[in-house]
Amino acid sequence: MRQLIKPIALISASLILSLASSARSSSEGPNSPSSASGLVWKNISNIFASDNSRASYNSSFQDILSAASFGFSSVTGVITGITVEIEGYGAGASPPTGDQIDIALTKNGSSPAGSWKLLNALPNGVANEAYIARGGSTDLWGTAWTPIEIANSSFGVLIRDSDILASPLNVDHIRVTVYYTVPAAGRRLKMQKFIIGD
């Protein structure tokens, strides 16, 4: 006689493993601006590239040079820091240090967001022209930032003379790097175990 095996129990067990790694750090840049404004600064479009063509300033009127439209498009997640690099030179009484500038970031293209970084000395003389860098991967410049604000065409850099004395300032290029973290996607592994009894 043929024996029939009849399942009498079905037990299902699920094992879920979540494999999550730490947030991933990334950056975009350095990016250059494509728009600029300033009342008494001359040849302001020269700041768009490092090509030895310079925007210049020599006035007792403390005018702000604004650089914007940096074209950030891939920044996501949480902004952790911003670096600003300014290439240029000044004329100072104590070479190799030239005149000093104040630097800030802006969200609207005209007013500072957060705090100014004061008294940043440019190299003295065209032969010593170089980039000066301020900020960094963990420096938010005194305020919080969102990816939308970074991508906005009004996001930018503000520069002004640190005093009201007429003295030549020359800026060849401005560039910005934005640092951010993106949470790593968790992975779920589901295992199904069946036990069949007879």
What was the pLDDT predicted at 62?
84
- What is the dihedral sign for C-alpha 58, 86, 64, 139? negative
Q: Bridge-partner residues for 55, per DSSP? A: 171
User: In this predicted model, which residue has the larger pLDDT, 17 or 137?
Assistant: 137
Whether 117 is in a domain gets the answer: yes
What tens digit of pLDDT does each residue of 7-53 get?
434 334 333 334 445 789 999 999 999 999 999 999 999 999 999 99
Tell me whether residue 152 is exposed, middle or buried, using C-beta atoms within 10 angstroms of its C-beta: 0 to 12, 13 to 18, 19 or more.
middle
Q: Is residue 2 part of a domain?
A: no
CATH of the domain at 23: 2.60.120
Tell me which residue range forms the domain holding 126.
Answer: 9-197
DSSP state, residue 170 = E
Domain membership of residue 3 (yes or no) is no
Q: Is residue 1 part of a domain?
A: no
Please indicate, yes or no, if residue 78 is contained in any of the structural domains: yes
The count of structural domains within the chain is: 1
Tens-digit pLDDT profile for residues 117-127: 999 999 999 99
* pTM to 2 decimal places: 0.81
